[in-house]
Structures are given as C-alpha cells and as structure tokens.
Amino acid sequence: MMMQEQTHKDAEGAILFDVEASPQVGHDWFAPDYWRERGALHTQAGGRGGVAIVATPVGECVLRHYRRGGLVAALMGDRYLWTGADRTRPFAEFRLLAEIARLELPGPAVVAARYCRHGMFYSADLITRRIADARTLAECLAAGRLDGELAEEVGALVARFHRAGVWHADLNAHNVLVAPDELYLIDFDRGRMRIPSVAWQQANLQRLRRSLLKLGAAADGEAAFEKRIWQPLLYRYGRTLNP
C-alpha cells in the first residue's frame, strides 16, 4: 500500500504522518508520559535518543527522540539549527524510510515525524512500527550467535541497500536487527539516497567492520575474525551487489 503523506502544522511545530497508518496522530503521541499514563509504555531506554516502546492504536511502535551525541551534546542537547521544515532530521528520515518501503527493502515502517520550533532551533521525534522479536547484531555477537551463516545474511542485507543507492550514515552492529523472518537496517537519521559508488559503499562496510571489532568480534584474533566472519560477509555482499 502506498503511503499517503500529510502534514499538520500548528503553533508548536509540525507533524508529518502517514494517513493510511493513522489519521489521528497528535502531539501527545510523541510524549512518553502520555503513553505511561495509559499503561501503554512498555519500555523506555535512556542514553542518546531516548527510545520508548509504546502500544499505539496502530500497534506497537518505537518512539525516538532525536538527541545529539559526542562533545556537541553537552552544548546543544536535543536542539538542532532551524534551516526549514523539509531539512529537519525527522522529516528527512520519514521520507527516506518511505522510499525504502517503496523499494521493498527491509527497514522500519514509518508512522509519524514531528519537529517543535524553539526560535532558531528545533527539537524532534520519530515514530516507527516496532519490529517484533528482533535482536541487534551486537546482541547476537554478545550471545555467541554471530557465525559465518549470519555474517553472510548481513552482507546480503547491506548489499541490497547499497545496490538501491541507500546510504546509512551510521552503519554499525547496533543498527542491524536480526528477526526470525528477516534482517533489517534501522536508524536512518542523516541517511540519504546516493548514486551507487564503490567509495561510499566500501566506507560504509568499513564502518560496520570497526563496530564489530570494537564489540569484541576479534576476541580470538583478527585472522580468525577475517576467516570466520568478515570474508563470508564480503563474499555474500559481492554476490548480492553484482548478481
């Protein structure tokens, strides 16, 4: 089903939503306390992003508040410089996820995005449908479940997005979800469509590699990691990128 995008603007800011998903999205939907008061907030994680799992009228969803990371977080927190509605982080990610769905790639289904103006700055939130029974690739690694077979599936997943020209700004083991039926890429903040190019595709892969190494994937030595994990991943990546 094609998405029917609609925008609601008011004094607080604007909400971009899929009419087919829900015609009733309001500012309350982006407030964890709203769901908590109704017993509909299942879990809430701290740290960057402030992610909450909420039971909405359209099913379980992930509510994510945009928050800066790194040194700039101490200065800006959750504020971003205003340069126009279409250039806000949530609206850009909403539309990229809509394109990913149109391309039939495995990403989170988007429900709604919001920004709130604060003079020269804005804060932002995004709601996507929850992918059930999924674990991150990082969690699979920690549980000893990352083997050559799973590595090949990850390689095929990344290649499908790269072949379509989808650039993920932060491709790491926390943003690959392993579900019983399929693997997914999540968190497309700052991602965009690009003309396929070996340069950015390889840079993306190296980012994933660094993430795996940082999480201890080479505990038995880098040579073992190359043979058991990385080479199977690259093999399947290449076969999928250029069938």
Distance, CA of 203 to CA of 149 (rounded, Å): 23
Distance, CA of 83 to CA of 117 (rounded, Å): 11
Distance, CA of 161 to CA of 171 (rounded, Å): 11
74-76-80 Cα angle (round to 5): 150
- Closest to 98 in 3D by CA, of 126, 66, 135, 131: 126
Token duo for residue 226: 């190359």
Q: Which of 170, 181, 187, 189 is catalytic?
A: 170
Distance, CA of 100 to CA of 19 (rounded, Å): 18
Whether 225 contacts 208, CB under 8 Å: no
Token duo for residue 221: 């030595």
Active site residue 147: no
Token duo for residue 222: 């880098």
Q: Is the dihedral of CA 52, 54, 58, 60 positive or negative?
A: positive
Distance, CA of 93 to CA of 185 (rounded, Å): 13
Strand partners, 61: 54, 129
How many CB atoms are located within 10 Å of the residue 151 CB?
24
**Catalytically annotated residues:** 170
